Structure formats: C-alpha cells, structure tokens
C-alpha cells in the first residue's frame, strides 16, 4: 500500500471562524444547498458532528460516485482544525483503502483567513496508475466548494458570525 499526499493553501476574504463553522461544522446542511449538482444530501449515520461521528455524503445523479462515508477523527473548534477519513466510497474500493483530509483555518492579517489542507490517498496495491483522474476531480471539487462557501458568506455577512 502506498500513500500519495497533496498539500494546498487557499485564502478567503472571510474570517477563519466563519469559514470553519460553514465549511466544517455545517457542511452537512450547506453543501447540498450550495452544490445541488454534486450533493443530494449529507446525513450523520452515527454521532452528531463531534470526533467519532460518521456521515454519509450522497451524491447527485450523474456523478461518478453515489455515496461516500467519512469519519471525523479530530475536531478542534478552538484551533479551527478538522481531520477526517473517507473510509468507504463506491467506485473507489478497488483502488483506495481510505482518503485522509486535514483542514486548518487560520486568520490572515487582512481580516480574512487562510486554509491549509493536506490530503493523503492510501492506495491499494498498484492502484496509483488509476488514480490520476480521481485526484484531479477531488481537488477541483474541494476548490469549488471552498470558493462557493466563501461567496455565500460574503453575500450573507451575518451567517455563522
């Protein structure tokens, strides 16, 4: 089993506390509203959003995947940090053991925030050669979600304040 790791930094014109609340704590409500073409629904199968909780993301029709299950491993609301693991997803089970995400929001000097992400793809056997298209789609969706949440919060300055 191999591991591919990708790091990405993004900046937003929204405070880190608001981005964290929207992007992490309320993603189960917000993502299907902002991206109905990608997400049908997001529900907690176990827990209530704290560490140890398991949620299922159901993807909209026409997507390559129909669902993904993720477990929240670490949630630090004071440091705006979350680590979670996607441990089950249709159409990927033959390539990946899991995908581990770490997301940290930090204040920037201009009242906005910086988001640092690390993504680790834990690959089964020789699945690395099949992974390139999947990686591109995952990065594009994450960036699009980040920008959509930022735009939504800029348009609604009282949300998550």
State pLDDT tens for residues 50-78: 999 999 999 999 888 899 999 999 999 99
DSSP conformational letter for 113: E
Q: What angle do CA 50, 7, 144 make, to 5 degrees?
A: 75
Q: What is the mean pLDDT of residues 119-128?
A: 80
**Pairwise CA distance, residues 98 & 120, whole Å:** 8
Q: How confident is the model at residue 96 (pLDDT cuts 50, 70, 90)?
A: confident
Residue 17 CB contacts under 8 Å (≥ 6 apart), including other chains: 80, 105, 160
So what's the pLDDT on residue 133? 64
Closest CA to 142 of 14, 23, 3, 45: 23
- The fraction of the chain above a pLDDT of 90, given in percent, is 70
Asked if pLDDT for residue 154 goes beyond 70, the answer is yes
As a whole number, mean pLDDT of residues 98-124 equals 93
pTM: 0.89
37: left (phi over 0), alpha (psi -120 to 50) or beta: alpha
Contact 102, 117 (CB under 8 A): yes
Mean pLDDT of the chain: 91
Q: Write b or e for each residue in 99-130: b if 16 or more Cβ atoms lie within 10 A of its Cβ, otherwise e.
A: bbbbbbbeeeeeeebbbebebbbbbbeebeee
């Amino acid at each position: 089993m191999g591991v591919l790791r990708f790091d990405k930094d993004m900046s937003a014109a929204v405070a880190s506390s608001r981005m964290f609340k929207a992007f992490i704590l309320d993603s189960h409500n917000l993502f299907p509203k902002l991206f109905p073409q990608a997400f049908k629904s997001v529900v907690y199968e176990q827990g209530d959003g704290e560490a140890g909780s398991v949620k299922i993301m159901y993807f909209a029709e026409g997507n390559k995947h129909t669902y993904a299950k993720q477990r929240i491993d670490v949630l630090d609301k004071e440091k705006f940090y979350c680590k979670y693991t996607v441990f089950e997803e249709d159409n990927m089970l033959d390539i990946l053991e899991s995908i581990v995400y770490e997301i940290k929001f930090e204040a920037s000097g201009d009242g906005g925030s910086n988001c640092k992400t690390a993504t680790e793809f834990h690959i089964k056997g020789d699945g690395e050669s099949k992974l390139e298209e999947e990686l591109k789609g995952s990065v594009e969706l994450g960036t699009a979600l980040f920008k959509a949440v930022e735009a939504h919060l800029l348009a609604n300055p009282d949300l998550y304040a």
